[in-house]
A = this chain, B = another copy of it.
Amino acid sequence: MIWNRPHLLDIESLSPEEIIAVLDTARQFKAVGERAIKKVPALRGKTVVNLFVEPSTRTRISFELAAIRLSADVINFGAEASSLKKGETLKDTARNLEALNADIIIIRHSATGAPHFLSRVVNAHIVNAGDGAHEHPTQALLDTFTIREHKGKIAGLNVTILGDILYSRVARSNIWALLKLGAKVTLCGPSTLVPRVFEQMGCRVTYNVEEAIAGADVINLLRIQHERQRKTMFPSIGEYTALFGLNHARFAKTKPDVLIMHPGPINRGVEIASDLADCGRSVILEQVTNGLAIRMAVLYLINGGTAAPEPGGLN
């Protein structure tokens, strides 16, 4: 058995074989999204709870649709209206969901380690949908899936991640997945957001964007979080764009088959020139489609599904 984990908590603890098992399984589920009837009965009668203590419409909907297409019943449990506001602890909230026979709890939380904690206090399957600045494992899996689909492999590729690395769970999960699968990872961004400590993980760190993107097979542009970072970490959005934004002059110096990626939502004209986001090298919308397939695969596998079933085996 390639996959026998009851939870998906992070990428760091996965073996390369486990990552590949998810990607191979997701390939089957991607085909489901292209059918006339986009459903399989794999999780029929199972209860999936979206416990999004930190709000995120986009990721929540992707998980919700993934669960629905597996025929599960989905409950959305947002923080804004929840008992957490009445002073209930996260542990009590989760144990209450478990008492409602929840089979899978998908949690997004601002605290690092919240999913790991839940996995120890309840019996339900736990999926990490983003915990603080720590990990966002399904994002890394969908990014890796997308790269593999286009390049046929991960090993040996030059992948550059550009932007706020320090506070980004997307970056951390991607770094783990890419290094485990043998890619060479370059990190670039304002020095306040890309500390040299990442070199200890095995990444190259550079503050020169031209150097970062020359020779890259993949450029993954992280979203600049207007709200949080603008005031403290760099002088202005305009300066970020001038120094690190992917504009036409820089794009002209990239490899002709470079993949442009972004976890979304994009700030057009900030991280990337607007028309480059829509150009033939951009796979930003494919990432969204692949995210759904990855999340279906993850929900299916942690619930005991067989990795990479034959086509038709999902029916």
Shortest beta-carbon distance, A308 to chain B, in Å? Answer: 21
Q: Does A310 reach chain B (CB closer than 8 Å)? A: no
Pairwise interchain contact A101-B33, C-beta atoms closer than 8 A? yes
CB neighbours of A101 from chain B (8 A): 33-34, 38, 289, 292
Shortest beta-carbon distance, A82 to chain B, in Å? Answer: 5
Pairwise interchain contact A46-B38, C-beta atoms closer than 8 A? yes
Interface-side segment among A129-137, A203-211, A262-270: A262-270
Q: Does A231 reach chain B (CB closer than 8 Å)? A: no
CB neighbours of A38 from chain B (8 A): 45-47, 73, 101
Report A271-310 residues with CB < 8 Å from chain B CB: 285-286, 288-289, 292
Report A19-51 residues with CB < 8 Å from chain B CB: 33-39, 44-47
CA distance A47 to B68 in the complex (A): 10
Given the known A-B contacts A35-B45, A45-B38, are A77 and B61 also in contact in the complex, defined by CB atoms under 8 Å? yes
CA distance A87 to B266 in the complex (A): 8
Bitwise, A41-74 to B at CB < 8 A (1) or not (0) is 0001111000000010110011011001100010
CB neighbours of A92 from chain B (8 A): 264-266, 268
Pairwise interchain contact A285-B75, C-beta atoms closer than 8 A? no
Q: Does A89 reach chain B (CB closer than 8 Å)? A: yes
CA distance A19 to B193 in the complex (A): 58
Given the known A-B contacts A101-B292, A285-B96, are A87 and B265 also in contact in the complex, defined by CB atoms under 8 Å? yes
Pairwise interchain contact A288-B96, C-beta atoms closer than 8 A? yes
Report the interface size class on chain A: 35 or more
Pairwise interchain contact A81-B55, C-beta atoms closer than 8 A? yes
CB neighbours of A77 from chain B (8 A): 57, 61
Q: Which of chain B's residues has its CB closest to A45's CB?
A: B37
Contact of A58 among B96, B226, B285 (CB under 8 A): B96
Pairwise interchain contact B61-A75, C-beta atoms closer than 8 A? yes
Shortest beta-carbon distance, A265 to chain B, in Å? Answer: 4
Shortest beta-carbon distance, A68 to chain B, in Å? Answer: 5
Pairwise interchain contact B99-A289, C-beta atoms closer than 8 A? yes
21 A-B residue pairs with CB within 8 Å? A35-B45, A37-B45, A37-B46, A57-B77, A58-B82, A58-B83, A61-B100, A62-B100, A64-B75, A65-B73, A65-B75, A65-B100, A78-B81, A83-B264, A86-B265, A88-B264, A89-B268, A92-B268, A95-B285, A98-B285, A99-B288
Question: Which 9 A-B residue pairings sit nearest by Cβ, starting from the closest?
Answer: A37-B45, A99-B288, A88-B265, A83-B265, A99-B285, A33-B101, A39-B45, A99-B289, A57-B82
Residues of A at under 8 Å CB distance from B? 33-39, 44-47, 55, 57-58, 61-62, 64-65, 68-69, 73, 75, 77-78, 81-83, 86-89, 92-93, 95-96, 98-101, 226, 264-268, 285-286, 288-289, 292
